[in-house]
Amino acid sequence: MQAFQIGNEEFDTYSPRTSNALVPVVNKCYPMIKSLYPGVSVGQCAVRKTPTSAQTHITNWCTNLFSNIGTNSDWCDFHYYRDGTCTPDPNVSCTDSSATPSVSTEITLISNALAGTSLAGNPIYALETGWTVGNIVNDPSMKTSTLGANITNTTQLTFTIGSNSGFPTGSFIVLIDSEWILCDSRSGTTCIVNVSGRGYGGSTASTHNAGVGVSLQTTLTEALQSQYIREMYDAGRTSTNLQAKKIFVWTIDYSASGNAAYGNNVAYIPTTYRQAFNDIRTYIGNYPQWTPAPPPSSSGATATTSARSGLGITTVGRDGFNVITKTRDGTVTTSGRDGTGIVTSGRDGTGMVTKARG
């Protein structure tokens, strides 16, 4: 056992959403766990965003907790999801009433809350994050308009918008109030709704008043899922003093269905992986250690070439995971990793030996 976590999301789910109820739990549980398992790391759960004023909530929740638990924590945790925010992109802080922070901003907010307490400098973990392929989300372009005239019934199949800037002329989805509407096309400021487009994606068709917001939506793709997970890793890897030491994806596993628990899986079945799974594998190859810069020559360029008269040439390179080739006069040796292990080694004049690891 490497670590224990005290609680999960329940201490930042139910009203009132303060950390008051968590303080006595941590102060009771931490010493008891340490007395039984002194070498185990113990942290506590998990601050979450709120629908409005998220940055203020995160600061207040963390400051109250860290100020009242003394040294009874080895690390802290936040859960980072972008559902219902201005954009699914974790690199963007929302400037609307939600005030959802970028992941880097949230790491800074938590670090600042730690700084004034006995826990200053403690590691920060994001032990849940993820994006569901196929979810309808605000388009990363954050294109918005306003409704030009009332939508007076739940079957109306045209509506107008105040400005069409950035809105496509082909098929697209919009969010008006809490209703998703699938449109087949747009002509000027008039949007033509698909015959089955009202109450799209499981939302409820309703009436809407002129002047309310109209937000362009998109369906989250595998490419966006992969991009956003890698942005999370980048935020942790480049955090000040590497304070954000762990980023856990909920969930990077495989499932027989299209979606595993809560739909954030990145693999369909055990032998067919989504783009994010493969991209994460490459990312780990490029950053085997949690460092701001990749190791030298990780792009496949030769790291060193040297020659010595009579001895031949020695070349050492790295291509993702692989050490490619070493040669020396009279001897040829090739070793590498291609996902299955060591491939080939041999010696000139004595034959060739092949070794594989399944």
Give 162's contacts (C-beta < 8 A, 6+ positions apart): 145, 146, 147, 148, 189
Mean pLDDT of the chain: 82
Domain ranges, ordered by start, for the chain: 3-132+222-286, 136-219, 299-354
| Residue-level pLDDT at 270 | 53
CATH of domain 136-219: 2.40.30
* Tens digits of residue pLDDT in 267-319: 444 556 778 888 998 999 999 888 887 766 544 433 333 333 333 333 333 33
**Structural contact between residues 70 and 27, judged by C-beta atoms closer than 8 angstroms:** yes
CB 22 within 8 A of CB 54: no
Per-residue model confidence (pLDDT) at position 304: 37
pLDDT in tens, 43-66: 999 999 999 999 999 999 999 999
CA distance 208 to 151: 5
Q: Is the pLDDT of residue 354 over 70?
A: no
Question: Which CATH fold topology does 3-132+222-286 show?
Answer: TIM Barrel (3.20.20)
Q: How many CA atoms lie within 13 A of 41 on its CB side?
A: 11
Q: Which residue has the tokens 């030491």?
A: 245
Confidence check: pLDDT of 349 > 50: no
Instruction: Please choose, from the candidates 124, 129, 92, 93, the residue with its C-alpha nearest in 3D space to the C-alpha of residue 110.
Output: 124
At residue 112, the 3 state secondary structure works out as: helix
> Which segment of 54-63, 151-160, 161-170, 251-260 scores lowest on mean pLDDT?
251-260
Q: Using the predicted structure, report yes or no on whether residue 80 has a pLDDT greater than 90.
A: yes
pLDDT at 340 over 90: no
The pLDDT, as a whole number, for residue 271 is 57
In order, the DSSP letters of 307-339 are: EETTTEEEEEEEETTEE-EEEETTEEEE--BSS
Answer whether residue 106 shows pLDDT above 50: yes
- pLDDT digits over 128-148, tens only? 999 888 889 999 999 999 999
